[in-house]
Structure 1
């Protein structure tokens, strides 16, 4: 993996931007919701939430894979809570990520070890965590909470 990542953002109109990730990937549209933008794509807050949830999911998959185990179809939902700071500016004041395994935890013999370490592999969440409160929950397909931190 490279030491650098470059993303180019180009304004189209109002608050709509084309996000070019380079490397032959399909550009995406980002837009603020009304009244500022038209909601033609995810907002910057949604992009951050997606990046954190995606990185955590990939990290859990990697941690399980170290033990030759597959957590199945992982599902992660990120919830950003928005509030105002002391200067009355909107900020993300907390981020909660709820993850659900695609298989019963009993099918993963090393799940405890994977859960103990997977967050340490996540570049994005560890970077974001330094600046705001952060919570991660992992659940079994039946809803049992396997990890809450």
Structure 2
């Protein structure tokens, strides 16, 4: 994780905002879907989901590599559960993340220890989890459910 991470958001037009991550990282256009925006880029909820899924994926990889294990391909899918709060405002009520390993569980040593600890290394999901429930599943390369 980047220490003291910072982004600058600048409105371009309508609901389109240019997201500047700093000199070393390409800028990105964010936009709301229709009818507010044009859907020309990811919306804020997409970026939140991407941040959570990316951090969990990196944490899982880090934990596996501590035991010198290779997950093969690693895929994450994050889905928001959207609902209305007590004031009838739309809110993300929960996030479901499915992590899929490219290897079968039987081919990964110390997987039980990895699964028990990897979420603790994820700064983003552990921070977001303080206000939004995050449910995590891990599947191996055969589709077997290993966690969640």
The TM-score bracket by the shorter chain reads: over 0.9
* Corresponding residue of 1:142: 142
Determine the C-alpha separation between the residues in 2 that align with 1:77 and 1:20.
Answer: 25
Equivalent residues of 2:103, 2:142 under 8 A apart: no
* Corresponding residue of 2:85: 85
Equivalent residues of 2:69, 2:108 under 8 A apart: yes
Cα distance change of structure 1 residues 2 and 35 upon mapping to structure 2, 3 Å threshold: closer
User: Normalising to structure 2: TM-score of the pair?
Assistant: 0.97
Determine the C-alpha separation between the residues in 2 that align with 1:77 and 1:2.
Answer: 23
Equivalent residue pairs, number = 148
- 1:88-145 CA-partner distances (Å, limit 9, x unpaired): 1110011000110011111111111111100000000000111012100000122110
User: Normalising to structure 1: TM-score of the pair?
Assistant: 0.96
* Corresponding residue of 2:7: 7
Cα distance change of structure 1 residues 34 and 2 upon mapping to structure 2, 3 Å threshold: closer
Displacement of 1:10 in angstroms is: 0.6
Determine the C-alpha separation between the residues in 1 that align with 2:5 and 2:105.
Answer: 35
Determine the C-alpha separation between the residues in 2 that align with 1:23 and 1:117.
Answer: 34
SS in 2 for 1:72: coil
Cα distance change of structure 1 residues 2 and 74 upon mapping to structure 2, 3 Å threshold: closer
* Residue ranges of structure 1 left out of the alignment (5+ in a row): none
1:58 and 2:58 aligned? yes
CA RMSD between the two structures: 1.0
Displacement of 1:23 in angstroms is: 3.9
Cα distance change of structure 1 residues 142 and 46 upon mapping to structure 2, 3 Å threshold: same
